[in-house]
């Protein structure tokens, strides 16, 4: 039995050692986590301060107004007033130029209408003159072919100026026969008118 007592095996302490072995690292991990959290918080604060500094540095600087001296302000006001006066004058000149251009256009139209009317009148007068000339020529031919006695009776009823116009265009022999058949006073008056017309006519 003593041998059996001597052979008593010591109790196994492996579970306790294992518990001790795994218990210490748990506390260590807690400390590590706390330190890491503290570091993260400090890093966040530092980054926030840096961002605030960056935002502050990039913010636009407050604008400061610089008031010009009284002399410069008065000069600037005078220049602005002068500029406004020049602008008004330029506008007035432009309006006047437009009015003048419109009046010139209307004047050109009226002038064109007058020229066209003058051309129409000249054409009408030319036609009338041609017709009248043709009528006079036909009458002269008719009087030349009439008997001198009958022609003389007709011419004696005409005004001397009118009779002189026809006789001056008739053939000399026919005109002489008509004058011979007229009253001497009428023949003389007609002869004077014909002579006066011929005197005013160009020689060459």
pLDDT tens, 111-138?
999 998 988 888 888 887 777 788 889 9
Candidates 113, 115, 174; CA nearest to 143 is 174
Tokens of 141: 């031919």
For the chain, which ranges sit under pLDDT 70? Answer: 1-31, 33-34, 36-68, 198-204
Give 18-32 pLDDT, tens digit per residue.
444 444 556 666 667
Q: pLDDT at position 55, please? A: 47
Look at residue 199 in the predicted model and tell me its pLDDT.
Answer: 63
> What per-residue confidence (pLDDT) applies to 147?
94
On whether the CB atoms of residues 149 and 180 are closer than 8 A, the answer is no
CA-angle at 41, arms to 37 and 42, nearest 5°:
120
Can you give the pLDDT at residue 40?
67
pLDDT of residue 42: 66
Residues 6+ apart with CB under 8 A from 118: none
Closest by Cα among 188, 183, 184, 166 to 175: 166
CB burial of residue 154 (10 Å; 0-12, 13-18, 19+) = middle
Predicted TM-score (pTM) above 0.85:
no
């Amino acid at each position: 039995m003593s041998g059996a007592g001597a052979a008593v095996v010591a109790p196994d302490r492996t579970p306790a050692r294992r518990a001790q072995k795994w218990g210490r690292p748990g506390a260590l991990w807690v400390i590590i986590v706390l330190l890491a959290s503290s570091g993260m918080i400090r890093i966040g604060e530092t980054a926030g301060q840096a961002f605030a500094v960056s935002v502050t540095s990039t913010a636009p600087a407050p604008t400061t107004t610089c008031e010009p001296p009284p002399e410069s302000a008065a000069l600037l006001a005078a220049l602005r007033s002068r500029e406004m006066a020049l602008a008004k004058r330029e506008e007035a000149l432009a309006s006047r130029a437009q009015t003048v251009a419109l009046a010139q256009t209307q004047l050109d139209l009226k002038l064109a209408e007058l020229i066209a009317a003058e051309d129409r009148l000249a054409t009408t007068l030319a036609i009338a003159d041609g017709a009248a000339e043709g009528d006079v020529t036909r009458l002269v031919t008719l009087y030349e072919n009439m008997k001198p006695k009958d022609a003389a009776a007709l011419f004696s009823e005409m005004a001397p100026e009118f009779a002189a116009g026809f006789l001056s265009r008739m053939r000399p022999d026919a005109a002489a026969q008509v004058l011979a058949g007229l009253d001497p006073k009428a023949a003389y008056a007609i002869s004077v008118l014909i002579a006066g017309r011929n005197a005013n006519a160009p020689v060459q």
